[in-house]
Structure 1
Amino acid sequence: MDLRCLYARGLELPNPLIAASAGTTEIVDKMRRCEDAGMSAVVMKTLFEDPVARRDPAPMFRVLQRRIGAARSTTFYTYEQAAHLDPQQFCEEIRKAKEALGIKVIGSCACVSDEAWSEYPRLMEQAGADAVELNLSCPYSAHLTDNLAALPEFIESATRIAREAVSIPLTTKLTPQMSSPSQIARLMERAGSDGVVPFSRFAGLDIDIETEAPIMHGGMAGHGGPWSLYYVLGWLWQIDKATELPISSSGGVWNAEDVVKHILVGADTVQLCTVLYLQGYGVAAAMLQGLRDWMETKGYTSLADFRGKAVSRVKGQTQVERRQTVVAAIDPERCTSCGTCVRVCPHGATKDDREGPIRLIAEECSGCGLCGELCPVGAISLRSLPEGYRPRHRIAGYYDVLTG
């Protein structure tokens, strides 16, 4: 099975899993754990020009949980800073990694001055880095929190400067906090980038209502986790259409299924960050095996067989089918009369008669599917409209819109 892919123009990898720039890739010992887990490359923890960003507060991690019934969301809320290294130390880690490891080593830098955008990538190239990823998207950076409107100009300038400084592959990392990442990807391509990396983490804020102040370190933080998958996928397919550059996507990856989804909407490689912190390095091996198993089931022999396959299948607003074709059905054998569907149905289509299972008033059901999604025992499903069905919706003409 052929898992070969491109991280950037000019840099091929044996499989699509890359350890994203984070504390999990800062030094050789950590990079070795990435290699042992089967990842094909590491993006080193970012070297910042500003020395203040090379020191972390403590604590700097929180795992925030929210629940809706049995459903749960997980947010990894962090204020982890840059690599704890100066430029010379950083480049020494590159040299040691290239001697000790068989995977690709990608440098990463975030700078303030034009001079550093030229100098840092050049130093990394001289140290033996296989590529350089420009971190133009750290969620704590002033250009994201104070001057977002100037971000396109900043990205283009930094990319052009770095491009002139090095001959190795150069990629640029996008922030999710912009109006049109696909347009920025085109700008990166014009500026000389060899690949695009969407996305870094969102900047966010949580408040302790007892102290009435921000939690943890007291300021803005990065936040990510499985919940961010859908935002990333929502832009990936548009970025894939906007640029010919290889795409190394990052965000929301929790299992092999998520890796497949990234590739289906245009990713060439997939970067792992939060999942390595919360599940450990070994999760990458399970993801690779899951990817192979899925490909075998589908009859695919290479990533090229399905990369971007879903892009053309994403419907526009006018293409979406809007006629009602289904209605909810309650299985009386499984229903426990818990009342969840009664509480949440916006149409009042479910009734609790206090005796036996919940009753559905089919004519009031719009087929929205909410009750089935929230039923804790899976007693509700959607079925095709019965013959002669005519809903009693209260909006004039609503039936004609729903059923055509």
Structure 2
Amino acid sequence: MADLSIEFCGIKAPNPFWLASAPPTDKAYNVVRAFEAGWGGVVWKTLGEDPAAVNVSSRYSAHYGKNREVLGFNNIELITDRSLEINLREITQVKKDWPDRAMIVSLMLPCEEHYWADILPKIEATGADGIELNFGCPHGMPERGMGAAVGQVPEYVELVTRWCKQHTRLPVIVKLTPNITDVRKPARAAKAGGADAVSLINTINSITHLDLDRMVAFPIVGNASTHGGYCGSAVKPIALNMVAEIARDPETHGLPISGIGGIGNWRDAAEFIALGASSVQVCTAAMLHGFGIVKEMKDGLSRWMDEKGYANIAAFSGKAVPNTTDWKYLDMNYAVIAQIDQDKCIKCGKCYVACEDTSHQAIARLVSETEERTYEVIKDECIGCNLCEITCPVEACITMVPQQTGKPYMNWTQDPRNPRAENVATETPERVLI
């Protein structure tokens, strides 16, 4: 059976599934229930200076799909609103009772060294395994010069990280904001400051929806609202990209990554790990479905690893990174064409409508004498865009079939159709896809 245990920048845990710093990790009661359910670790909800932050009501809103499925989750809650003394006492007791679980403490303080120098020895005294610097909170705290206000300025990221490395022996994990143009820059700054690892992504600035009668966004506080932090399954594609960017960046390559953002099942976790993460953090899925989801996550991941022959997490961590490159290095001569399995086709016509109205008119709608409809791909018109496959409601009914073009690998830097080909043809790709 596959070994799910990990060691993340020196921190050991029985599995890679950790709860992210958020409401589920705000107090001992929650964390103990999580450990009893089988979570491998937690990042305790962000601690700050006393007096504690004051939160508003209400705090959450959602972006819904069909049947009120929560696709994205928005919150305007701040860091812990409980005193530092209570939090430290509870962290100490929980770590004592659960010594085999990873206990990371999230921190957010003003950008003055003495604040960090004062709190870090207190965190060490709890027996915690590491700290996570919250440089990502997008609401409430940035107005006070903390959270994303730090994470958006690489110089500040490096500065505070260096302070922490000077004042603690614990591993320092820097949590990055996605509300930035290029996530690699703060990641590089964190590494320059001595960070042992990075975690990402924190939440994305968002407004989910409005009450059009009252003309105010949700969540509503009195007669007003504000932007909040967006998380949940909807942010997963953004998070995966940012994790991959850091994993394949030559300047941060090898820096341990804790992946966060829309992880709700074992497959999501496996994708983050394959793109360079060696632990994953979960929040929204636990809030929507409870701590018990970790059992299925562990079981599913273990079964998949056994099937693929991966003995441990390290065996496939980062395995997809070499296959992720810049667009200009993709093979311009590679081609696929859609193919419809007529035995699986339910004749709904969604592929035809999508292709006819918005793509390349590459699907023919045929009607027999008995008025039976059939949809067939017009091969000479198909460009292999995948739209028909995406719109088809039947799994594996439409597949994209590779074509033998007889042409060698050629990327955009080599393509004669590129008006700047002569200027860039000498560039060396990070990895050539064959």
Same fold (TM over 0.5): yes
Q: Which residue of 1 aligns with 2:242?
A: 235
TM-score, normalisation: structure 2 = 0.80
Q: Which residue of 2 aligns with 1:106?
A: 104
After TM superposition, the structure 1 stretch with the greater mean CA deviation from structure 2, 142-151 or 221-230, is 142-151
Q: 1:274 aligns with which of 284, 287, 292?
A: 284
Matches within 5 A, 1:157-176: 157-176=159-178
Q: Which amino acid aligns with 1:112?
A: P
Q: Aligned partners of 2:311, 2:342: CA distance in 1, in Å? A: 45
Q: Which residue of 1 aligns with 2:409?
A: none
Q: 1:363 aligns with which of 365, 374, 380?
A: 380
Q: Which residue of 2 aligns with 1:216?
A: 219
- Note if contact 1:48-1:54 (Cα within 8 Å) is conserved in structure 2: no
Distance 1:181 1:150, change over 3 A: closer
Structure 2 unpaired stretches of 5+: 406-415, 418-434
Secondary structure in structure 2 of the residue aligned to 1:15: coil
Q: Which residue of 1 aligns with 2:298?
A: 288
Distance 1:72 1:368, change over 3 A: farther
Q: Give the deviation of 1:173 after TM superposition.
A: 0.6
Cα deviation digits, residues 197-226 of structure 1 (max 9, x gap): 111111112341333322213001111111
- Note if contact 2:63-2:208 (Cα within 8 Å) is conserved in structure 1: no
Distance 1:325 1:136, change over 3 A: closer
Cα deviation digits, residues 77-129 of structure 1 (max 9, x gap): 22222212122122111122123323232211111241323322222112322
Q: Which residue of 2 aligns with 1:180?
A: 182
RMSD in angstroms over aligned alpha carbons?
A: 2.8
Q: Which residue of 2 aligns with 1:26?
A: 26
Q: Which has the higher helix share?
A: 1
Secondary structure in structure 2 of the residue aligned to 1:234: helix
After TM superposition, the structure 1 stretch with the greater mean CA deviation from structure 2, 193-202 or 151-160, is 151-160
Secondary structure in structure 1 of the residue aligned to 2:291: coil
Q: Which residue of 2 aligns with 1:390?
A: none
| 2:69 corresponds to 1:59 | no
Secondary structure in structure 1 of the residue aligned to 2:373: coil
| 2:83 corresponds to 1:86 | yes
Secondary structure in structure 2 of the residue aligned to 1:2: coil
Secondary structure in structure 1 of the residue aligned to 2:181: coil
Q: 1:313 aligns with which of 323, 327, 349?
A: 323
Q: Aligned partners of 2:124, 2:46: CA distance in 1, in Å? A: 15
Q: Percent identity?
A: 29
Q: Give the deviation of 1:375 after TM superposition.
A: 1.9
Q: Which residue of 1 aligns with 2:400?
A: 382
Q: How many residues are paired up?
A: 385
Q: Which residue of 2 aligns with 1:392?
A: none
Matches within 5 A, 1:27-42: 27-42=27-42
Q: Which residue of 1 aligns with 2:363?
A: 350
Q: 1:76 aligns with which of 67, 73, 78?
A: 73
Distance 1:385 1:269, change over 3 A: closer
Q: Which residue of 1 aligns with 2:413?
A: none
| 2:157 corresponds to 1:155 | yes
TM-score, normalisation: structure 1 = 0.86
Q: Aligned partners of 2:293, 2:203: CA distance in 1, in Å? A: 20
Q: Which residue of 2 aligns with 1:196?
A: 198
